[in-house]
Amino acid sequence: MNRKPVTRSDPQAARLAQALAFHRNGHLPQACQFYEAILSKQADHIDALHMLGVARMQLGQHASGVELIERALHFGGPDSCMLSNLGNGLNKLGKHHEAIDVFTQALEMTPKAPETLNNLGIALAADGNHRQALARFDEAILLRPVFPECHNNRASSLRSLGRPDEAIRSCEQALRQRPHYAEACNNLGLSLRAAGREEEALQQFDAAIALQPDFLKALSNRASVRRQRHEYTLALADSLRVLTISPKMFEAHNDAGLALLALGHTEEALARFDAAFALAPQNPAVLNNRGNALHALGKTSEAAISFETALEHSPDHADTLNNLANLLLATSQVERAIALAERVTQIAPEMPEGYNNLGLALSAGGYPERAREAFNEALSLRPHDASALNNRGHALEVLGRYEEALKDFSTALDYQPDAINARWNRALSALRLGRFVEGWSDYEARWGLPGQHLPDLPMPRWQGESLAGRSILVWAEQGLGDTLQFCRYIPLLAARGARVFLQVPATLEALMRTLAGITAIFDQNSDLPLADFHCPLLSLPGVFGTRTDTIPATLPYLGTDPVKLAHWQARLPLSTARRIGLVCAGNARFVNDSERSIALQMFLPLMQTDTQWYFIQPACSAEDAECLHSHPQIVDLRGQLQDFSDTAAIVAQTDLIISVDTSVAHLAGAMQRPLWLLLPYTADWRWQIGRQDSPWYPGARLFRQARHGDWGSVIDALHGALAEPLTPQSGT
């Protein structure tokens, strides 16, 4: 319909003039009252409908504003100005496709309208069409070169297109045209961050906040950069400041949770994620972070539910898939973890964490070569990733490529000197290669591993000072086998004039009384004596500067209790048959027990009539128990071993100990009894590489897997060796 011209004498014109005056001066509620008064008299007043719609949108009432402008267009017909404002409202409502159509219609009417071109660019960018958006921004700037808002919007699209340096220049142009433009400072900060210039980015976020103290986006962006820089306390402060301004901003609760999680305040972090979840129950990022907090608290079932709920809302959310794969891996659901991790690499092939976690899952599944390839992909995307280098090093070790593994661990430490896992793995790798000087130094990194800590003792740690006339407390810190292997250093301390107090697990206490050089023994529940120094047992080789050729290997250094020996001599009468003690499995709780243990069933073909076999484990699996029940010719000593002094008395009466890598093997070696040690393909560092003997236990014989999991060839080698006469040993 045609619009009727309004004369000055028209009372509606006076109301409209007053409304526009209030509107221009920013008094939006008063302006709205006058527009509404006009419409109460004339419902089809086009200017009042249009401007009331604009005012409502400026007040954040976008749906109402859109409806009013649509009514104005209905009564007044197409108008480029009204169409442009309608497009802005549709944009705010997230209706970007409709906004693009409306702006396009407006430009057909007024092709050279820079404001409309800028708004169309905003809609295209919001719809993900950054190339088309950039073209519209460029057209607008050609028409109006001094257009700071458009330069700022142009920068956002350039950054989204992966062109941060051009984005920086566009932001700088916006700021030259409007020096105190907070939005452009914030955008410049984002562009600098995208270019890897974090320090400068922080300065721009600071500038934006100085210009506009309640600028939520700038505060949130500064918090994000501070988290990336591990400045978690400062990041938390920014997020909490956002929440004082906007308590129901779920993103700020989420950001605060991320900072708290990084600070180790996991319960508080979960509370923040819960608050974010209450405000945005379908947001996948919130559900993902909540799952991470629950996982960190050991609530794996609840964590899995949170991850799976996130995936219901966003099935291809790569971070969530990745974290769920980690959780499955931690709960030994390896094949499912592999499947999910592979999906992550398909959905997000540019995400290095996906390949890194796929490598971890493949390693756990026993696929070291595929794991190595996955870590290679991770490192192609992020070459300086210390975690991926460390993980690839581990895969290379499993593949027997030890020199390459050592190089990876060292490179990881070049990039991240505080990478404890890499330093620990480098220690084990160097020791395995016989490079003891470097290995012992890095071996001290164990105190930074999860669950490990040096006790707070009221005496200095021994670093090699004179011990003449002084006392030292040595305390066992690792497994029983480690204690049996390294207690050999106690006589060396005594030889330096020290009074040596030794703390060991109670099950070793009686056995350790056969070790020379001890002043007193304490179990781990006893009050400890005061001493001049203390030293962890496995730090002694490093302090003594032990090399392969200086290993203290005077055997035997452990013996038997005469009373226990007499007891077991009566229990195990003399026999003309060869006596063989067997240990086919270690502690099932040991992290790599599945690699070292062998089913008892596999040994049955070795049990000929001219041998008597003794099963000298304190416990075994249900399958091995059934095997013992079915083969009574094996003397089952389970339940009869009170402590290691019993085990030593039995070992002393055998002609041979055949054992996997567990404490009884160390006991037999320390007693200088004939020992055949059965080792997996990737054996523990102390057995070094490829050797069939051991400098720690001269006379011991090592049988190694030729391939991963191939115990059959080891049993075949044992069969041949049992046909040979045993080499006599002089131990007791």
Q: Is the pLDDT of residue 697 over 80?
A: yes
Q: What is the mean pLDDT of residues 74-88?
A: 91
Q: What is the mean pLDDT of residues 427-443?
A: 96
pLDDT of residue 374: 98
Angle formed by the axes of helices 46-58 and 80-92, nearest 10°: 30
| Nearest Cα residue to 655 out of 557, 569, 564, 728 | 728
Q: How confident is the model at residue 3 (pLDDT cuts 50, 70, 90)?
A: very low
Q: How confident is the model at residue 513 (pLDDT cuts 50, 70, 90)?
A: very high
| H-helix or E-strand spanning residue 521 | strand 520-523
Q: Is the pLDDT of residue 660 over 60?
A: yes
Residues pairing with 533 in the sheet? 472
pLDDT of residue 440: 97
Tell me the C-alpha distance between 370 and 236, whole Å: 40
pLDDT digit string, tens, across residues 6-65: 444 578 888 899 999 999 999 999 999 999 999 999 999 999 999 999 999 999 999 999
Helices (H) and strands (E) in the chain, counts: 36, 10
Task: Say if CB 202 and CB 227 are below 8 A apart.
Answer: no
Q: How confident is the model at residue 572 (pLDDT cuts 50, 70, 90)?
A: confident
pLDDT of residue 453: 87
pLDDT digit string, tens, across residues 234-264: 999 999 999 999 999 999 999 999 999 999 9
pLDDT of residue 728: 63
pLDDT of residue 670: 98
Mean pLDDT value across the chain: 94
pLDDT digit string, tens, across residues 130-168: 999 999 999 999 999 999 999 999 999 999 999 999 999
Q: Is the pLDDT of residue 729 over 70?
A: no
pLDDT of residue 451: 85
Tell me the C-alpha distance between 88 and 67, whole Å: 13
| Nearest Cα residue to 616 out of 652, 590, 566 | 652
Say which amino acid occupies 629: H
Q: Is the pLDDT of residue 368 over 80?
A: yes
pLDDT of residue 732: 54
pLDDT of residue 61: 95
pLDDT digit string, tens, across residues 628-637: 999 999 999 9
Q: How confident is the model at residue 589 (pLDDT cuts 50, 70, 90)?
A: confident
What is the residue-wise DSSP string for 687-728? Answer: G-SS-SS-SSSTT-EEEE-SSTT-HHHHHHHHHHHHTSPPPP
What letter would DSSP give residue 435? Answer: -
- Per DSSP, the three-state class of 475 is strand
| Nearest Cα residue to 223 out of 197, 259, 192 | 259
Q: In what order do the strands lie in the sheet containing 701-704?
A: 635-636, 611-615, 578-583, 656-660, 675-679, 701-704
Our measurement of the distance from residue 13's CA atom to the centroid of its chain's CA atoms, rounded to an integer in Å, reads: 68
pLDDT digit string, tens, across residues 544-563: 999 999 999 999 999 999 99
pLDDT digit string, tens, across residues 319-328: 999 999 999 9
pLDDT of residue 183: 97
Position of tokens 């560092």? 685
Q: Which two tokens stand for residue 531?
A: 């001493």
Instruction: List CB contacts of 246: < 8 A, sequence separation 6 or more.
Output: 216, 252
Backbone dihedral region for residue 129 (phi beyond 0: left; psi -120 to 50: alpha; all else: beta): beta
pLDDT digit string, tens, across residues 97-123: 999 999 999 999 999 999 999 999 999
Q: Is the peptide bond before 556 cis (omega within 30 degrees of 0)?
A: yes
pTM of the model: 0.78
Q: What is the mean pLDDT of residues 185-206?
A: 97
pLDDT exceeding 70 applies to what percent of the chain? 98
Say which amino acid occupies 353: E
pLDDT digit string, tens, across residues 528-544: 899 999 999 999 999 99
CA distance to 225, 328, 346, 718, per residue, from 325 (Å) = 27, 5, 14, 41
Q: What is the mean pLDDT of residues 670-677?
A: 98
Q: How confident is the model at residue 1 (pLDDT cuts 50, 70, 90)?
A: very low
pLDDT exceeding 90 applies to what percent of the chain? 89
Tell me the C-alpha distance between 364 and 371, whole Å: 9
Q: What is the mean pLDDT of residues 351-369?
A: 95
Q: How confident is the model at residue 593 (pLDDT cuts 50, 70, 90)?
A: confident
**What helix, strand, coil percent values describe the chain, rounded to 5?**
60, 5, 35
pLDDT of residue 469: 96
Tell me the C-alpha distance between 329 and 337, whole Å: 6
Q: What is the mean pLDDT of residues 406-416?
A: 97
φ, ψ at 523 (rounded to 5°): -90, 175
pLDDT of residue 51: 95
